[in-house]
């Protein structure tokens, strides 16, 4: 269960906030960001389908609404990556591609679990946390900005 709480802290810091209306398809980073946003949304949906009560939500819909990134958060995140010239594409694509894969893997791990399978959830959370740590990192400044976007 400890990993669940560790994930929930990460989820709140990086997910609730790994929350935006200013996002448009004109954002230069959107081709890289959209797969991350989609994978994160799919993972949130899968998680909330069974484990919504662990994050204090009364039902799956409320959980998804609370965990979904807002347009403002997405726009803020897009702004971080749009600040980098096109020749630095790999600077932001590698971390985001990795995070999108981690989100997808986490959803795939959660999918077969029963809603009372907290041991299975713990295994999935541990795998998620380890995989996130293996992803390429942004600069310290961009990481701080990303975390601030999540708090909007």
Phi, psi (rounded to 5 degrees) for 70:
-80, 165
pLDDT at 32: 78
Query: Domain map of the chain by residue range?
Result: 2-150
**What pLDDT tens digit does each residue of the chain (152 aa) get?**
434 433 443 333 344 333 232 333 344 566 778 999 999 999 999 999 999 999 999 999 999 999 999 999 999 988 887 777 666 667 778 888 999 999 999 999 999 999 999 999 999 999 999 999 999 998 899 999 999 999 99
Contact 136, 94 (CB under 8 A): yes
pLDDT at 93: 84
Q: How far apart are CA 23 and CA 135, in angstroms?
A: 24
Contact 69, 16 (CB under 8 A): no
pLDDT at 87: 65
Query: Taking Cα atoms as reference points, which of 99, 101, 100, 114 lies closest to residue 46?
Result: 114
Query: Taking Cα atoms as reference points, which of 85, 101, 91 lies closest to residue 142?
Result: 91
Identify the three-state secondary structure at position 128.
Answer: helix
Q: Tokens representing 55?
A: 């994050």
pLDDT at 79: 87
């Amino acid at each position: 269960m400890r990993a669940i709480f560790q994930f929930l802290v990460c989820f709140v810091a990086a997910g609730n906030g790994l929350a935006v209306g200013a996002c448009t398809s004109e954002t230069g980073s959107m081709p890289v960001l959209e797969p991350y946003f989609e994978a994160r949304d799919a993972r949130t949906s899968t998680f909330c389908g069974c484990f919504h009560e662990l994050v204090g939500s009364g039902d799956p819909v409320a959980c998804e609404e609370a965990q979904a990134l807002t347009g403002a958060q997405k726009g803020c995140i897009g702004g971080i990556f749009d600040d980098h010239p096109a020749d630095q594409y790999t600077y932001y694509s590698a971390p985001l591609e990795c995070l999108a894969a981690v989100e997808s893997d986490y959803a795939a791990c959660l999918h077969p679990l029963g809603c009372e399978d907290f041991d299975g959830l713990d295994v999935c959370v541990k795998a998620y946390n380890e995989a996130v740590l293996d992803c390429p990192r942004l600069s310290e400044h961009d990481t701080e900005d990303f975390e601030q976007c999540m708090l909007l």
